[in-house]
Amino acid sequence: MPMRARASEPVTITATSYDAMAQAFAARWFDFHLHEQVARFAERLWPGARVLDLGCGPGRDVAYLQELGFRAMGVDLSAGMLAEGRRRGVGPLVRADMRLLPFADGSCDGLWCCASLLHIPRTQVPTVLGECRRVLGHGYLYLGVKRGEGEAWVTGADGERRFFVYYHPTEIELLVERAGFQVIDCQVSAPGPGQAHPWINLLARTRMVTK
């Protein structure tokens, strides 16, 4: 499976940090469900729809989406996170870089991308969204990113460094539309427990291409 990340770049450093913190991260967040956001996404789909969770971490949302009747699969670059998910009985899980997805064109009906695109440098986001559009057939995209300014390295209490990119709603809407999606809804919600930044919750569908 192609992995073109350099060891010194933000995405790779962040993935390595998640390897180290996987167990603690899962213990804190695995039972925290985004009921409202998942419901808004799920109501657009149908039983048995193929859903890809990009940046799935330990697979919390993969398991939840499967409980709702979808054929969900998780993708993450952190081997540690995927191992933690498998230890908890979640699957299928695939290690891959969201900038180069190992899936066929139009191979899924829904893309769930929660708190993962925000680790991709801003200049590389169009590449990720292009991959999202490629693998998504006539379907729907949920995108969750943090609202704020600029880019920053954040060091947690455990000493692990992670790279974050922050957005305004109009900025992320424009990026999604330029990638070939039509934005259906974009809402801002409160920070999660212990978090500082509000969340932008965007729902979009693939835009039909006309000749």
Question: Where are the chain's structural domains?
Answer: 10-206
User: How far is 116 from 79, CA to CA, in rounded Å?
Assistant: 15
- Render each residue's pLDDT in the chain as its tens digit; 211 residues: 334 445 459 999 999 999 999 999 999 999 998 999 999 999 999 999 999 999 999 999 999 999 999 999 999 999 999 999 999 999 999 999 999 999 999 999 999 999 999 999 999 999 999 999 999 989 999 999 999 999 999 998 889 999 999 999 999 999 999 999 999 999 999 998 888 999 999 999 998 644 4
Write the CB contacts of 91 (distance below 8 Å, at least 6 apart in sequence).
59, 62, 74, 85
CB atoms within 10 A of CB 2: 10
Q: What is the pLDDT of residue 2?
A: 38
Closest CA to 43 of 189, 203, 200, 188: 203
Residue given tokens 């409202």 in the structure block: 36
pTM equals 0.93
Q: What is the pLDDT of residue 208?
A: 66
User: How far is 8 from 113, CA to CA, in rounded Å?
Assistant: 24
Pairing of strands 108-114, 136-146: parallel
Q: What is the pLDDT of residue 1?
A: 32
Q: What is the pLDDT of residue 193?
A: 86
**Angle 93-161-8 from CA coordinates, rounded to 5°:** 80
Q: What is the pLDDT of residue 6?
A: 54
User: How far is 131 from 133, CA to CA, in rounded Å?
Assistant: 5
For domain 10-206, give the fold.
Answer: Rossmann fold (3.40.50)
Structural contact between residues 22 and 84, judged by C-beta atoms closer than 8 angstroms? yes
